[in-house]
A and B are shown apart, each in its own frame.
Chain A
Amino acid sequence: MTQIDSTTLNQWYVIQSSAALTPSQPRKTRLLGRDILAVRQEDGQATAWEVSTKGEQGQALPVRECYDYVWTTLGEPDGDIFSMPEFYEDGRRMVVCGIATVQTSPGRIIENFLDMSHFPFVHTDVLGAEPDTEVNNYKVNLRKDVNELWATECGFYQPKAMASATEGIEVDYQYRVANPFAAILYKTCPDRADAMDLVGILPQPLDETNCDIHYFMLVFDDVNSDQELIQFQQGILMQDRVILENQRPRELPLQRGAEITIRADAASIQYRRWIKEMGVGFGTL
């Protein structure tokens, strides 16, 4: 692999959920093409280190536990893990959904997550349905102060927007790309008119075209069990996986004109431009 760009290198990445990392269950995995091992020590401390090609314990890695996840980095992040105040709100449930292994680049994963126009075709009768295929104009802006990309005023008619939905509703969406490889969706909460539910995806890039996607929900929901919520979200992700693994190239093309774009792709266009400006070469072309 060519040298990893500094933007990619200097990010925090989730490598396991806090609950799944127990002293008896270390996680041997990869991050940005390197072998690593995460271990929960007997005293409760989460640790991680690189593993050499010979299988020997290498350099210790910085580890944080945050939002019920274990994070590490191979570089030197400028700042902290992005803020997600909703995690601390009363009444919300954090539902860690698990890991989905998908053979594609992290950029393709984020871009698919930001895309509404596939709902009627990929999540038919759940997140969308023909003939309601039109994507209304929405706003995309780069919040320079926090270096985050937001898409707002997104609306879409959804037959079954969430696990608890019993009928179709016009759903309001906001997308937040908190760093090049972490995205959160805020969507109308079926139970509370004044609140939004969160769905987040945190791809752990194993290498340029393989990811373990850690995903979660952060919701007000008194109806569904964790298991029901997980099943719903898992079903959605499995539908996306068929798409993600059959896009060519697997890397995200950043050159202008490499792929045809329309106005509904505004989020994708801005995402590509943004990560290109940051010099993200990893998993891109």
Chain B
Amino acid sequence: MTSQSNWIPVSGSGDLAAASARAVVLPDHDVVIWRTKTGAVHAWENRCPHRGMRMSFGQVRDEKLVCRYHGWGFDEEGQCQNIPASPNAAAPPTACIKTWSCTEKDNLIWVDVSDESAGEGSAMSGDSDGVSSLMFCKSVYTDGDLDKVLALVGSARFLPLGYDGDGRDLDWSMTDLPDLVGDAIQILVSGAGSDQIVITGHQARDGRCGLHIMTPSTGDHDLDRQRRLHYSKWAKRLRWSLSNPDAAQDGFSVFS
């Protein structure tokens, strides 16, 4: 997949539990992503056609997303199937929610909100050459434009699991990884604790963006769990450091 693609990584797969819904804010779209009990993901306009309630406040029931306000239930195609206030009448066919293409790849949830996105959306191409299966660790939200923030993140200190120095004796290199996960960067850390981190993200609104921090799986269950935890903590530190640029002298900042 190229960075010209319309697919936007909006969330880690693990951050959307089965039978749950969540809001995602993109520059020009309010989106609700939700997952059925059996695991399918959907991305819709985050607005109920009845009285405008945000669908992200809804509940997943019988594989329908049920609006919080009056309980209208929308099936996986976005079509309203039941209206509790008039249980014996069929829902009007116009009672449907705009849907967008949504898929999962590399443990991320991807949405295509472009106009061409009706139905299938553009094919999700590209393969994960060079990076074995990526584990999602954590998303963080911060002020700034995605590309500027990603460039800045490239200068952060990376502290691999098991390494207990301050990071200053490690070498790292940053490369763009457009073929893998949208506008992603790959960071290869070498030296005492070599590792690899992949960071991608999406632009939100009001000058904010979301970053998704990932790292390759080792195949060892316990080790992977520890690594996920470790980089989740690092991600929180990254967020703190991004929002406290004046603290760059502070050893806690990943930019010091």
Residues of A participating in the B interface, judged by any CB pair closer than 8 Å: 111, 115, 117-118, 120-122, 130, 133-135, 242-243, 246-249, 253, 259-264, 268
Name the residue on B nearest A264 (C-beta). Answer: B85
Whether B22 is near chain A, meaning CB under 8 Å from some CB there, is no
Contact in complex: B54, A248 (CB < 8 Å): yes
Contact in complex: B84, A117 (CB < 8 Å): yes
Contact in complex: A133, B30 (CB < 8 Å): no
- CA A263 to CA B86, docked complex, whole Å: 8
- CA A248 to CA B86, docked complex, whole Å: 24
Contact in complex: A259, B51 (CB < 8 Å): yes
**Which residues of B11-58 are within 8 A (CB) of A?**
30, 46-47, 49-54, 57
Whether B188 is near chain A, meaning CB under 8 Å from some CB there, is no
Contact in complex: B84, A248 (CB < 8 Å): no
Listed A/B pairs (30) with beta-carbon separation below 8 Å: A111-B51, A115-B70, A117-B85, A118-B69, A120-B84, A121-B70, A121-B71, A121-B84, A122-B68, A122-B69, A130-B71, A133-B84, A133-B85, A133-B87, A134-B84, A134-B85, A243-B68, A243-B69, A246-B53, A246-B54, A247-B51, A247-B69, A248-B52, A259-B52, A260-B50, A260-B94, A261-B50, A262-B85, A264-B85, A264-B86
Contact in complex: A243, B85 (CB < 8 Å): no
Contact in complex: B57, A134 (CB < 8 Å): no
- CA A260 to CA B80, docked complex, whole Å: 11
**How many chain B residues touch A (Cβ–Cβ < 8 Å)?**
25
- CA A262 to CA B89, docked complex, whole Å: 10
Contact in complex: B49, A259 (CB < 8 Å): yes
Q: A115-B70, A135-B85 are in contact. List 16 more A-B contacts (CB 8 A).
A: A118-B70, A121-B69, A122-B68, A133-B71, A133-B84, A133-B87, A134-B86, A242-B68, A243-B53, A243-B68, A247-B51, A247-B52, A247-B69, A248-B54, A262-B83, A263-B86
- CA A133 to CA B51, docked complex, whole Å: 17
- CA A243 to CA B87, docked complex, whole Å: 22
Q: Which residues from chain A contact B84 at a C-beta distance below 8 Å?
A: 117, 120-121, 130, 133-134
Q: Which residues from chain A contact B94 at a C-beta distance below 8 Å?
A: 260
Q: Which residues from chain B contact A130 at a C-beta distance below 8 Å?
A: 71, 84
Q: Which residues from chain A contact B69 at a C-beta distance below 8 Å?
A: 118, 121-122, 243, 247
- CA A109 to CA B145, docked complex, whole Å: 36
Contact in complex: A260, B95 (CB < 8 Å): yes
Contact in complex: A248, B30 (CB < 8 Å): yes
- CA A117 to CA B85, docked complex, whole Å: 6
Q: Which residues from chain B contact A259 at a C-beta distance below 8 Å?
A: 49-52
Residues of B participating in the A interface, judged by any CB pair closer than 8 Å: 30, 46-47, 49-54, 57, 68-71, 80, 83-89, 92, 94-95
Contact in complex: B68, A247 (CB < 8 Å): no
- CA A118 to CA B30, docked complex, whole Å: 23
Lowest 3 A-B CB distances belong to which pairs? Answer: A133-B84, A117-B85, A264-B85
Closest Cβ–Cβ distance, residue A52 to chain B (whole Å): 31
- CA A121 to CA B57, docked complex, whole Å: 12
**A135-B85, A264-B85 known; A117 vs B70 contact (CB < 8 Å):** yes
The secondary-structure label for the interface of chain A is: loop
- CA A261 to CA B92, docked complex, whole Å: 9
Name the residue on A nearest B23 (C-beta). Answer: A246
- CA A111 to CA B47, docked complex, whole Å: 18
- CA A41 to CA B1, docked complex, whole Å: 71
Residue among A249, A260, A264 with max Cβ neighbours from chain B (10 Å): A260
Closest Cβ–Cβ distance, residue A127 to chain B (whole Å): 13
- CA A121 to CA B69, docked complex, whole Å: 6
Closest Cβ–Cβ distance, residue B53 to chain A (whole Å): 6
Contact in complex: A134, B87 (CB < 8 Å): yes
Q: Which residues from chain B contact A263 at a C-beta distance below 8 Å?
A: 86, 89
Closest Cβ–Cβ distance, residue B97 to chain A (whole Å): 10
- CA A117 to CA B69, docked complex, whole Å: 9
Closest Cβ–Cβ distance, residue B216 to chain A (whole Å): 39
- CA A242 to CA B49, docked complex, whole Å: 18
- CA A121 to CA B73, docked complex, whole Å: 12
**A121-B69, A122-B68, A243-B69 known; A262 vs B86 contact (CB < 8 Å):** yes
- CA A264 to CA B69, docked complex, whole Å: 14
Q: Which residues from chain B contact A253 at a C-beta distance below 8 Å?
A: 52
**A118-B70, A121-B68 known; A248 vs B47 contact (CB < 8 Å):** yes
- CA A121 to CA B48, docked complex, whole Å: 15
Q: Which residues from chain A contact B87 at a C-beta distance below 8 Å?
A: 133-134
- CA A86 to CA B92, docked complex, whole Å: 42
- CA A242 to CA B30, docked complex, whole Å: 18
- CA A212 to CA B86, docked complex, whole Å: 33
Q: Which residues from chain B contact A111 at a C-beta distance below 8 Å?
A: 51
- CA A42 to CA B51, docked complex, whole Å: 47
Q: Which residues from chain A contact B83 at a C-beta distance below 8 Å?
A: 262
